[in-house]
Each structure stands twice: as structure tokens, then as C-alpha cells.
Amino acid sequence: MAARAAATRHAEGAERMDVREPPHRPPAILVVASDPSARASLLEPLQRRYSADYRIIDVENPDRAVAAVEGVHAEGGDLALVLADDPSPVSGHESVFAAARRRFPDVRRGLVIEWGSWADRATADAVLELMTRLQIDYYVVRPVHSPDESFHRAVTDFLREWEAAAGKRHRGFTVIGDDAQPRTHLLRSILARGGVPTDHLTPDAPDALAMLAEAAVDYAGVPLVRTADGRVLVDPDDAELARAHGLETALPTGIVDLAVVGAGPGGLAAAVYAASEGLDTLVLEGESIGGQAGSSSLIRNYLGFSRGVSGAELAQRAYQQAWVFGARFAHTRRATGMRVVDGGFELDAAPGEIVRARAVVLATGVSYRRISAPGLRPFVGASVFYGASSVEARAQAGRDVLVIGGGNSAGQAALHLARYARSVALVVRGESLADSMSRYLIDQLEAAGVGLITGSRVVDAGAGGADRLDHVVLERTGSGERVAVPAHAVFITIGARPHTEWLPPEVLRDRWGSVITGAEVLAEGGRRAWLGSDDGPAPLESSVPGFFAVGDVRRGSVKRVASAVGEGSVVVSSVHAHLGAHAGG
């Protein structure tokens, strides 16, 4: 009751203050061009299309542009986009692009070039250099006719990216919970990776108190979720949360042609191609659509996305594509066992139901192995995260952050965190990143000022005065020397392993649990390991006919999103062949 009374007082106070609050200032688009005609060619279409929702600010040189950035920041406004044709530093210090990123970490920045100038070597080199040094996100071609929809597409893409990164999309869901509780973070992550823009409020925040008072619910120490229709869910389980934002969790009663276990890139690709080719397809996913890739802030080396694409967006596009072709999804349903039966397979799906399928594609990927450092355990899920967890990046403003790992996932996580955190450092056991990370990422990490601690591993951690993570202890792998390093959050992306212990013994695996497929079944296990015909298993088929494995869960896979997508798409031809051979079974 005290919470509701406080909320009522807050609401009344807010009502009285409304008349004195300044009018809302829309986010700004800054246009920088010295040539009046060039500037006019940018301003006219921008004013026509965007002036109702954005302030269009134009200046003629980098000096005034930097001053304009500082002015927007000083007045407490938002800067969504900078379009400039001059990347020169002001007084030898920083360019307008650098100033904009420093003041507004989520701002999008485009270098304006003339049509066709990408063929000029100097222009091309400038674009590539500016992108490597994280000065710009991409280039924009100056419009030369009206309407120029290619120009507007570039602008709209930038604004959509800014809206998502800055948390400006309409937020129908709100998580109310203590930041120190892992479940609070997990609920936010599940919603974000499901494509649901979500607010987070602490239980004592005035807006949280008002929401709870309206719903007549008291906070009792566990996280709450306010849904888009105003209901308040008390510490909902994953299935209840999925149903609240319109996802299906039920299982079909009949047999399906293909069950895909896991909705990461490989599983989603298998679902798209299987469903598009007429197979009755069901996808089981125990956590979030997209798997580990879904938490990646930016995938730069995926075909067709020149500026890169977030893992969540790529996963949502693939999910929608599979759904449109007719694939069914059972969200928050984890496979816990499997049996080979007449006519196919039976899959146990928690909590206690069975899926029957004529063929199965396993695409569960891998998860990161827990670090044994005892001091980390109390903070797991609150300030220690296994995976890239881009959802948590904005919460690291003003903090010191460590990323453990030397692969591309670690690099992208560090880059994203560097937008917000006071300091970011990568901790790797090797002596360099050259053998484990793409060159473009190494260059961008250097440009972003991300530190590198080599030849080290985490062995312990400690808390500050408020029981929050304060530091970790690193040990030099060669000398055994230990040193304490400040850290308010740790993101761990090492020691990936598959979870295949629920599979029956007939499915041949290596000692790490990775499923062995194709010709390696016979090479590894001998003729008796293969339970099918004399032809042997298909390239992605396991030792059990009709049971296939794709992506990171398969031994010998290439650990890339594109590779998993490729395997998920080509496995469907083998599924067809298996189903055809057993059509009368």
C-alpha cells in the first residue's frame, strides 16, 4: 500500500509540473557541406521527408559542425544522424564525426560523396580509412534528382539503426526489478533478443511505482514485467513471457516431416529451406531465437549487409521468413531426450511432452564453459555474463569492463561496449589476436582504444563496498604472477562446448560432445557405428539415419554465422533424400 500511495503522490506531483516542463525537442539531423548547392541538395529532401519528426540543422564547415554537436549536447537533446562531406579535424583535434560519437555514442554518421566517386581511388581509400578508424558508419551518395529513394533508403536505415541502438523505439514492455538480480537481466535479454523493445526500471523509480499502483500490484522482491496491454506478470517463466508477446509454445499432436532443434542461424536456415520446399517443419527453441549470434551487436562479415547487421535483426528476419513459408515454432521448448522409433524419432520436450518427427536436424550450437574462478560465481547474470550480451552494453556507462576471449564474438562485444564504458579491455590467453580474430576487427579495436591483456586468465574476482563486482584477478599463464584489474562487468566468450548429453548413445560423438557426421562416422566409429544402408551417411548425417547435425554442434564445423547458414540450407536436400527412401516406412 505504501508503494501505491507513493505512486499516487508522484503522479499528482507530475501532473502539477507538466505545465512548467519545456516542450519536447525532437532528435536532430546535422548536415555539413561547404558548397551551398551541395548543402541545399541534402536539405531539401531531408526537410520534406523528416522535418515533422527531426530537427534539421545545417552548417557550412567542420568548426561550426562541432559547435553544433556541443550545442545539442548542452541543451540535453539527441543527435540521430550526421551527414558531412568533410571529415577534417577541427584545429587539429577531432572531426565532426568523432565529436558526434564522443557526445552521442549511438549517433549514425555518413560521409557524403558524389555519385560514382567510389571509383576514385582517393575517395575509396578515404571511406575505408574512416570506417576502419570508426569515424563513420558508411557513405551516403548525395541526391541529384527528386525523389531519390536510394538516398532516402540510406537515411532511413541509419535512423532505424539509431532508434534501436538508442532505445527510442516504442517500448510496450517494462521490466521492473533490482539490477543485482540475475533474473532481471535475463528477462530483459529474452525480450530484447525476441525483438521486443523493453524498458527497465528499478522498483523504487517513480514511473515503476506509478505502473504498479495502476495495476494494484506490490513489488515483493522478484522481477515484474508490465506487458503492452498493461498486465503485470510476477517473475514470469520463459514460456509465460513468450506467450505474453505473441509467441507460440504449444507442440503439434501429429508427426511432422522435420523437427529442427535449435533456432540459431543454422536451424533457421534449415527451417526456411525445408518449409519453402513443402516439408511440415517444426522448430524447437529452448531460449531465444538466433542463438549466440542473436546477442551479437554487429556482424560485419555476413554476405549482403555492407554496413553489417545486428545478430538480433538477422535472426528476426530469418524467423519471419521461415514463418511465412509455414514453419511452426515451439518457443521455450528445450529438447531433453530422443529415441529412434518406427517411422522416425520421438523427442522429449520439456516440460514432459513428446514431439514425433520423421527426420531431425540438430542445430543447438554451443554454449560457453563456466570459468572456475570462485569469485565470479556470485555475480553471474548480474555483472558477469557468458556471451556477448549486447543488451547489457548501455548499462556499462562510466564503468570498467573486461571481455574474456579472442574470437570475433569477443571483438564485436568489445567494440560495442567501447561506445559506452569508461574503459574496455580484451583478456586472451595467447600472445596476440592474429590467429583468432579477423583483421578488420583488430584494426577497429585499436581505433576504439580497446585495451589488450595477453597471456592471462581470470582466476578470482572481488566486490566493492556495495556487493557489486569491483575487480578481477588475472594470472599470467607463463609466470603465475597475479594482478588485480578494475572491472565492474565481465563478458566471457571462451570455452564453447555443445550440450549433447541428452542424445542416445547411438549418436556418435567425440569426447567433447560434438556430433560426428558424414564420412567421419565410418572413419571414427567403424562400419558398426553406422546404422543405415551400405551407402554410408550423407555429408551432414550422423551415425543414425535421418538424424542430421549442422553448425557449431557438429564436429569440424567452421565457426562462422555464414557457415552455419550454409549447412542449414544444404542439409535439406539430404533430409529429402532420407524421407524419400523411407516414404513407405
Rounded to whole angstroms, the Cα distance separating 310 from 185 reads 20
Predicted pLDDT of residue 486: 94
Does residue 315 surpass a pLDDT of 70? yes
Number of Cβ atoms within 10 Å of the Cβ of 336 = 14
Using the predicted structure, report yes or no on whether residue 22 has a pLDDT greater than 70.
no
Question: What pLDDT, on a 0 to 100 scale, did the predictor assign at position 125?
Answer: 94
3-state secondary structure of 275: helix
Laid out side by side, the sheet with 198-201 consists of 198-201, 173-176, 224-226, 232-234
Write out the three cell numbers for 417.
561496449
Q: Which of 412, 377, 375, 408 minimizes the C-alpha distance to 393?
A: 412
Q: How far does the chain reach from its first CA to its final CA, in angstroms? A: 65
Query: If you count them, how many residues does the chain have?
Result: 585
For β-strands 232-234 and 256-261, DSSP reports them as: unpaired
299 confidence band (pLDDT: 50, 70, 90): confident
What whole-number distance in Å separates Cα of residue 395 and Cα of residue 393? 5
Q: How much of the chain exceeds pLDDT 70, in percent?
A: 95
> What is the reported pLDDT for 151?
96
Strand-pairing partners, residue 425, are 402, 451
Q: How far is CA 82 from CA 66, 102, 265, 299, 381, in A?
A: 11, 13, 33, 22, 36
Look up residue 53 and give its DSSP letter: T
Q: What are phi and psi of 30, to 5 degrees?
A: -105, 125
**What sign does the dihedral 259-261-266-271 (CA atoms) show?**
positive
Phi, psi of 83 (to 5 degrees): -120, 115
Q: Which of 504, 554, 500 is nearest to 346 (CA)?
A: 504
**Spatial contact of 32 and 100, defined as CB atoms under 8 Å apart:** no
Tell whether the model's pLDDT for residue 8 goes beyond 60: no
- Which range, of 223-227, 236-240, 304-308, averages the lowest pLDDT? 304-308
pTM of the model: 0.85
Which is nearest to 150 in space by CA: 183, 116, 109?
116
In this prediction, residues 6-30 reach a mean pLDDT of 54
**Residue 104 pLDDT greater than 90, yes or no:** yes
Q: Give the pairing of strands 469-476 and 482-486.
A: antiparallel
* pLDDT tens for each residue of 120-170: 999 999 999 999 999 999 999 999 888 999 999 999 999 999 998 887 877
Choose among 3, 464, 340: nearest CA to 203.
3
CB atoms near residue 447 (< 10 Å) = 15
Q: Helix, strand or coil for residue 564?
A: helix
Q: For residues 254 and 356, is the Cβ–Cβ distance under 8 A?
A: yes
Tens of pLDDT along 357-398? Answer: 999 999 999 888 888 888 898 898 889 998 877 778 888 989
pLDDT band (50, 70, 90) for residue 402: very high
- In the predicted model, what is the mean pLDDT of residues 475-481? 91
d(CA 533, CA 90): 72
Is residue 127 a contact partner of residue 111, using CB atoms and an 8 Å limit? yes
pLDDT band at residue 409 under the 50/70/90 scheme: confident
Report how far residue 284's alpha carbon sits from residue 247's, in angstroms, rounded to the nearest whole number: 12
Look at residue 335 and tell me whether its pLDDT is greater than 80.
yes
What is the predicted pLDDT for the residue at 24?
67
Residue 450 has a pLDDT of 96
Give pLDDT, residue 4. 38
User: How far apart are alpha carbons 230 and 174 in whole angstroms?
Assistant: 10
pLDDT band (50, 70, 90) for residue 465: low
**Mean pLDDT for the chain?**
89
Within 10 Å of residue 250's Cβ, how many Cβ atoms? 12
- Whether the CB-CB separation of 338 and 346 falls below 8 Å is answered with yes
220-232 residue pLDDT tens: 999 999 998 889 9
Nearest to 225 by CA among 176, 263, 262: 176
- Cα Rg of the chain (Å, integer): 26
Q: Of 286, 293, 269, 263, nearest to 389 (Cα)? A: 293
Give the pLDDT of residue 582: 80
Q: What is the Cα–Cα distance from 506 to 582, expressed in whole angstroms?
A: 19
Q: At residue 107, does pLDDT exceed 60?
A: yes
Residue range 104-125: mean pLDDT, rounded: 93
What does the pLDDT average to over 333-340? 95
Looking at residue 584, its pLDDT comes to 58
Q: Is the pLDDT of residue 61 over 50?
A: yes
